Amino acid sequence: MPITLSDIARLLSCPPPAHRADLAIAGVATLKEARANELSFIGSDAFAHDLATTKAAAVIVRRALKTRPGGSVVTFLVDDADLAVAAVLQLYAPPVPRPPPGRDPLSRIDPTARLDDSVAVGPFVVVGARTTIAAGTVLHSGVSIGDDVVIGRQCELFPHVVLRERITLGDRVVIHASSVLGTDGFGYRWDGRQHAKIPHVGTVIVEDDVEIGSCVCIDRAKFAATRIGRGTKIDNLVQIAHNCVIGPNCIIVGQAGLAGSAVLGNGVVLGGQVAIRDHITLGDGAVVAACGAVAEDVPSRTIVSGMPALPHRQTLREQAALRRLPDLVVQVRKLQEELNQLRKSADDGLPDA
């Protein structure tokens, strides 16, 4: 069924448009790219120029903005434009291809594993001994699950995800393609002759409503557990080392790396390519800007940046001073020349001994 402007207004709890309420909307696009039968959005006054020239039929506008579209463009005023767009995109999102409930004949399930009848198992999936998988979980093709794994309800593991032995997932966990949970931690000790491997006999526990991107590696603990807290979202290409404890509702952006036993509190945000040293604690609500290297504990609700990471304002001041350094070098050189000239003049004016 076509989605009309009236449908979108109802979804966003906005007043119905005064005109063209029955216009069918083909999709969502940027202000620059939107066509006359598409919806767009604006969440910042920085895009005011694009709003003035957009061809979109309607625009979702953050209520706090001064900017408004002109002409015949329908306006939907909302408190949060990004959340509103997310709700609308649900209407247009194509369904994700999934295997049907049941076991594909090309899968291999250990006879001691217990899978709810509603679990969907794709081709070439391997499930180990004594593993338990709860209702509504989907295993896409090529997923490999070890022995003694516990997977909760309505989880989804995309192609080639690997869960090593004794891993636990809560409910509604999503893991994207080619991520690996439960690899041995990177632990070695020099014994005078070689790097002796330290056994890692712990596990990984992923709590409810966690989403893990593609090609993420989460190492098992040396003992006890590496833990990912409820509601945390992890981007692609992230490394989480053994015995890390990630609190609830954290955001970890791509290419971040956490060394062993790092602890993140509630709602911590790590920008892209952030590095966290081992045994470091970041308090609740702490934020590390992209490419920051954290070498010491970060207090709660503190923003740090730089290498090594310092309070963000201090980093900005240091960067500003660094940019002035070439000019300062020239000024110092000139002052040194003037000082040398003054010394020479003073020496020339002294009477002979």
| Phi-psi domain of 315 (left: phi exceeds 0; alpha: psi -120 through 50; beta: other) | alpha
Beta sheet of 27-28, edge-to-edge order: 27-28, 38-42, 58-62, 74-78
Which string of b and e fits 153-172 if b means at least 16 CB within 10 Å? bebbbbbbbbbbbbbbbbbb
Does residue 93 contact residue 68 with C-beta atoms inside 8 Å?
Answer: no
Cα separation, 214 vs 108, whole angstroms: 24
Cα separation, 61 vs 127, whole angstroms: 48
Give the single-character DSSP code of 24. B
Residue 312 designated active-site: no
Catalytic residue among 195, 242, 279, 312: 242
Cα separation, 125 vs 93, whole angstroms: 27
Secondary structure (3-state) at 350: coil
The distance of Cα 156 from the centroid of its chain, to the nearest Å, equals 18
Cα separation, 292 vs 268, whole angstroms: 14
User: What is each CA distance from 238 to 55, 81, 219, 257, in whole angstroms?
Assistant: 39, 29, 11, 6
For residue 328, with 0-12 CB atoms within 10 Å meaning exposed, 13-18 middle and 19 or more buried, which class applies? Answer: exposed
Strand partners, 289: none
Does residue 224 contact residue 244 with C-beta atoms inside 8 Å?
Answer: no
Task: Give one DSSP letter per residue of 173-189, joined into a string.
Answer: -EE-TT-EEEEPP--EE
Q: Which residues are catalytic?
A: 242
